[in-house]
Every structure is written in structure tokens, then in C-alpha cells.
Amino acid sequence: MNVSRPAVHPVEAPPLTDGDAQILQRVRMKDIQGMPGTPGGLALRLLQLAFAIAALVVMISTSDFTSVTAFCYLVAATILQGTWSLLLAGVDIYAILVRRSLRNHFVVCFFTVGDGITAILTFAAASASAGITVLIGNDLNRCAENNCASFETATAMAFLSWFAVSPSFLFNFWTMASRRG
């Protein structure tokens, strides 16, 4: 079968002047709200922080959370999530104030890995705590002796913290994956 093939003839590009080079360097992909260094990204970080702190405070306010390993794990995961969110909220505030883009490949990879780790740990801790809360409340019917409402509230706040970190992880992962080079 004979198929015609297009002929490719290289064309020389005209040399760039100083003005053209400056224009080309400033062109970049539009920042989408929710990405690092944007007000939407800062809002997501602050939501993560607020829900993690709420889960931590509610769980620590109960006297018997230390008797269940899953609840101790939830406390550790929310401390990690809160610390990570506070750190990156500070970075986002700095980037917004000085109008810097957080598109550096190393920074995006760091944010992606950190968000992924904290998302997995927070989700696992919230799931384990939800399982224990269902066991105590529904299966054993021992809510009268335990702080079931506090356990349920802390678990819900942990799930909301995970729900807030997921878009951050997805935007960072998308930014990292769409980088050419």
C-alpha cells in the first residue's frame, strides 16, 4: 500500500530580540484556585488545619481515648495533619504576599508526597476510629459508659480534614504530572 508521506522542511525561526525573550519568559499556565500559592489553596490548607484541630481537641477532651489504639492513632494522625497544614499555609501566605508561583518541580513534588502521606494516614485513622465507634455504639451497645458522641464527632472531623486534603493532593499531583521535561 502506497501512502503519501508529508515532507518536512525545517524553517529557521527569526532571532529573538530582548523584548521577545522577556515576553516569552513571563508566559505560564494559569494558576487554578486550589493549587499551592493561590488563595483557594490557602483556604484548603486552613480548612485542613481547622478540621484536624477540631478532631484533636474533641478526642483529647475525652478521658478514655488512650484505652483504644485506633483513637490514639487518630490523635497522632491529626497532629501530623495539623502540623503539615500549618506549615504549608505559611508557605501559601508567603507566596501570595510576595506574588511568587509555587511551580518549582522540587516544591511541587514535596507538596504532593506530603499531601499524599498525610491524606492516607488521616483516612486510615478516621476509618479505624469509625470502626471502633460503630463497634462500641451499635454492636456492644455501650455508649452509656463511653463518650460515643465525642468519638463520633472527632471521627467526623478527621474525615472532613481528609476531604479537605484530597483536592490539595490532586492539584499538586496534576501539576507535577503535567510538567514537561
Pick from 29, 31, 60, 34: nearest CA to 45: 34
pLDDT band at 32 (very low <50, low <70, confident <90, very high): confident
Domain boundaries, the chain: 48-180
Mean pLDDT of 10-34: 62
**Measured at the alpha carbon of residue 102, what is the angle toward residues 98 and 106, in degrees to the nearest 5?**
135
Asked if 105 contacts 179 with a C-beta cutoff of 8 angstroms, the reply is yes
pTM listed for this prediction: 0.79
The DSSP-derived string for 115-130 is HHHHHHHHHHHHHHHH
Pick from 55, 64, 88, 76: nearest CA to 159: 55
Supply the pLDDT for residue 62.
92
Structure confidence by residue, pLDDT tens digits, 153-180: 999 999 999 999 999 999 888 888 887 5
Supply the pLDDT for residue 27.
46
Mean pLDDT of 27-55: 85
Supply the pLDDT for residue 16.
66
Asked if 40 contacts 33 with a C-beta cutoff of 8 angstroms, the reply is yes
Asked if 124 contacts 69 with a C-beta cutoff of 8 angstroms, the reply is no
Long-range contacts of 22-31 (CB under 8 A, 24+ apart): 28/101, 28/103, 29/178, 31/101
**Measured at the alpha carbon of residue 154, what is the angle toward residues 157 and 156, in degrees to the nearest 5?**
40
- C-alpha span between 122 and 100 (Å, rounded): 30
Range among 6-15, 27-36, 153-162 rated most confident: 153-162
Supply the pLDDT for residue 26.
47
Mean pLDDT of 30-36: 76
Containing 20, the helix (H) or strand (E) segment is helix 18-26
